[in-house]
Amino acid sequence: MGYGYAIGEFSSITGISIYTLRYYEKESLIIPERKENGRRLYSEGDISWIQFIKRLKDTGMPIKEIQKYAQLRAKGDSTLEERMEMLIQHRAVLKEEIAAMQEHLTNLDDKIGYYKTEIKKKINVRDRGIKNGNMTTIGHHAPFFYAYTLSLFSEYKRFVYNHSTI
């Protein structure tokens, strides 16, 4: 057969754990060659195939569908149309999911925009209130400033009373 990759080396190349590779083999997603001693021997073609499986998984294709695709692939070129149809159907599902996610993203952007506008309004009102000396427009700090102002006024009255010459 020529040079191939042992399972550990293949795992390093593909970024897929040895455990997962064995699972894929058990599920007939990949069928590596075997050496005379029974050890697995993966090829360059297996690398491409595993990368394709990873892409299908990344797009959300269920493992059962990937298994079906792998079975068709193993049958050869006579299944090209069926495989293409599977990919076309999966693409349609993926486009629907992307559209739904895009709608969710738009809704989040709208809500973030709303909050930015409301926060900006509150900051502007607060800033105008402080500039005009209106302590009731400074938001949630108003009770503190009101109490502080009353205490200053009370101290002023005591001072004036204690220092009056009447």
**Domain spans of the chain?**
1-75, 76-133, 139-166
This model's pTM is above 0.85: no
- pLDDT at residue 145, rounded to an integer: 57
Q: 42-81: per-residue pLDDT in tens?
A: 999 999 999 999 999 999 999 999 999 999 999 999 999 9
Q: Which residues pair with 41 in a beta bridge?
A: 33
Q: Return d(Cα 76, Cα 73) in angstroms, integer.
A: 5
Q: 97-106: per-residue pLDDT in tens?
A: 999 999 999 9
Q: Return d(Cα 152, Cα 61) in angstroms, integer.
A: 70
Q: Return d(Cα 29, Cα 24) in angstroms, integer.
A: 5
- 162 neighbors 154 (Cβ within 8 angstroms): no
Please give the mean pLDDT across all residues of the chain: 85
Q: Which residues pair with 42 in a beta bridge?
A: 5
The HSE-up count of residue 142 (CA atoms within 13 Å, CB side) is: 12
In the structure, what pLDDT confidence band is assigned to residue 153 with cuts at 50, 70 and 90?
low
Residue 70: CB atoms within 10 A of its CB come to 20
The CA angle 63-65-68, to the nearest 5 degrees, is 110
Tell me, which fold does domain 1-75 have in CATH? Multidrug-efflux Transporter Regulator; Chain: A; Domain 2 (1.10.1660)
Give the amino acid at 121.
K
- pLDDT at residue 163, rounded to an integer: 64
